[in-house]
Each structure stands twice: as structure tokens, then as C-alpha cells.
Amino acid sequence: MSKLHAVITGVGGYVPDYVLTNDELSTMVDTNDEWIMTRIGVKERRILKEEGLGSCYMAKKAVAQLMEKTGVDASTVDGVICATCTPDYHYPSNATQIVEAMHMTKAFAYDLEAACCGFIYAMDTAACMIESGRYQRIVVVGAEKTSSFVDYTDRATCPIFGDGSGAVLVEATEEDLGWQDSILRTDGSGFQYLHLPAGGSVNVPTHATIDNKMHFIHQEGRTVFKYAVNNMSKLTAQIAERNGLNKDNLDWIIPHQANVRIIQAVANTLEMPMEKVLVNIQRYGNTSAASLPLALWDFEKNLKKGDKIILTAFGAGFVFGSAYLKWAYDTKD
């Protein structure tokens, strides 16, 4: 029997209508467009402002678009893995709500939390399931409402983050396409530099945790920047080397959209020209686990069957990873 490969056969996405520009942000905190663009590279970000809606609302929108584009019968989907660190609830998972809304009557469902690296972790999990032969069709989602945990009086963090969701359909094939290789790593010593201090079982919500702004993202930006550059660059170089990839035969690098300077540093590792690096941070900011699938959604028409692509990401934990895939289809106009 030929080896099974896990291939992405479709992409869906959703971003909220509301656009928070740098100019508007500068009326809220002491910042300006030039500073944000130079240091981070974000021009605007999308914010889900409607009351009573969370990351799962956007996830369901992205998956609905995915199902419509691919024409797949929902009853044939074997599972849904939703990568998120901003779920609607601690439980049940976003994925269970997606399955219910999409009428996926035989699908398993769970959320996976690996911060900004969540999509790569979820894709690797789905790929292993597909390659085992036990599952044929899995939906992988990245969905985040980071704005719920951003302190819009903190000029260091509030320009960075945005909301959105992307989803992909992963299926089995015997063609030499799809998910080829991955390297996943963790450095738990990074906890103190990037975390959400309260809201879990250690620091439950109290007047004190609210008054002390412990339900907002805590990030020590310079330290996180150094770790991200070092580890994303290192893993990108490693996965390229062990798969015989270089600037001449690699078609695209798709990095987590956290900071344009991190993205440039990763590209420099392989001496890749920036026109072969897919970047949309200027439009959406850092959407955490939604970052990579939103990039696939944005640039789907640029991708051709057989294109060699490296994905790479870094997030709280610290968790980081790189993956190599061969794109499986040409986009129809």
C-alpha cells in the first residue's frame, strides 16, 4: 500500500468588519503610525466589537466558507481541531460548537492550545491522524479574539494584536504532496515573559485580579522578540536543511505574523527575498493561532500545486515550530 499523505484541499477565512487603524489607536494611547509601522509593521487590525460574540463566532464563519468552497458533505468530516488560546469558554470547546453548527454528525472535536504556534501543532496532529489511515477528512481551525485580553491603555501591547479566524480542510492522498515534515519544540522557561496572569485555576477572577489588570496579556517585548527571532530562524534553517530546501528551490516562507522585523530575520536565515515571504501583518496584526491560516486564505491564489512551503511560528510557553509542505492544488478563479 502506498504511503498516505495529509494535504490541505481548501481554505476559508473570516475577519471582523471593524478596522482599528493606527490613527484611531493614537487617540487612545500615546503612540503614532510611524512608531507602530517601524517597530511592529501593523497598519490596521480587525476587532470583533459586537457584544456576546467570541472567537467561535469567527471560527464558524471561516468553516462555513470552507465547506461552501470545497463542497464537502459535512457528514463525511471525521473531526475538527480548533487551535485557540481565546476560546469562548473553558469548556465546552470551540470545536464542539463548530461541529454542532455545521451538522458534522460523525466528527470528533476538541480545542488545542499552543498559543501563536497552535495552527502548526494542530496541523501536525491532523496530519498524523490522516497518515494513520484511520481518518480521511479533518478540519483544522485557528480562531482568536485577542482583543478580549488586550489592555488598550498599554501602548506596548495594544498595537500588536487583532481578531480573526482561518480554517483548512485536510484530506488523505497517495500523491507526494501535503504535509512532509515538522519540528515542534518547547521552552517552558519563557512563561514569565509572555502569559495571561489570571482567569485560570491559579488566579481565579476576583476584584483584586481585575483591579490589577491581571486578565490582560503580559508581555516583555524585547525578550520575546529575541527568543522568537532565534528560535523561528533556527527551526526554519533546520527543516530546510533536512529536506534539501534553499532559496533556489523553496517557493514560499509563511511565518507567524507577529512582527515585521521577526519576519525579515527569518527570511534572512535562508537568504530568501521578501517577495517569496507571505506577509499580511500590516492588515491584521498578530492574530495568534489564526495568523497562519489567515495567510493561506489571503494568498491562496498565489499558491500553485507542488509549491514547496515552510510554515514557522512562535508563541507563549515558549512554544515554536516549523513545518514543510507541498501545496496540493491550483486555485480556480
> How would you label 190-226 residue by residue, b for 16+ Cβ within 10 Å and e otherwise?
beebbebebeeeeeeeeeeeeeeebbbbbbeeeebbe
Which of 88, 205, 200, 197 shows the shortest CA–CA distance to 148?
Answer: 88
Which of 257, 296, 277, 323 shows the shortest CA–CA distance to 123?
Answer: 323
Backbone torsion region of residue 306, taken as left when φ is above 0, otherwise alpha when ψ lies between -120 and 50, otherwise beta? left
Assigned C-alpha cell, 196:
495571561
Which member of 82, 94, 256, 259 is catalytic? Answer: 256
3-state class (DSSP) for residue 139: strand
The Cα-based distances of 326 to 51, 245, 310 in angstroms read 40, 12, 9
Let me know how many helices (H) and strands (E) the chain has, helices first: 10, 13
Paired strand residues for 184: 321
CB 114 within 8 A of CB 157: no
Which member of 22, 94, 231, 286 is catalytic? Answer: 286
CB 313 within 8 A of CB 232: yes
CB 104 within 8 A of CB 78: no
Which member of 56, 116, 117, 158 is catalytic? Answer: 116
Catalytic residue status for 286: yes
Assigned C-alpha cell, 51:
457584544
Classify the C-alpha dihedral 223-228-233-234 as positive or negative.
positive
> Which residues are annotated as catalytic?
116, 256, 286
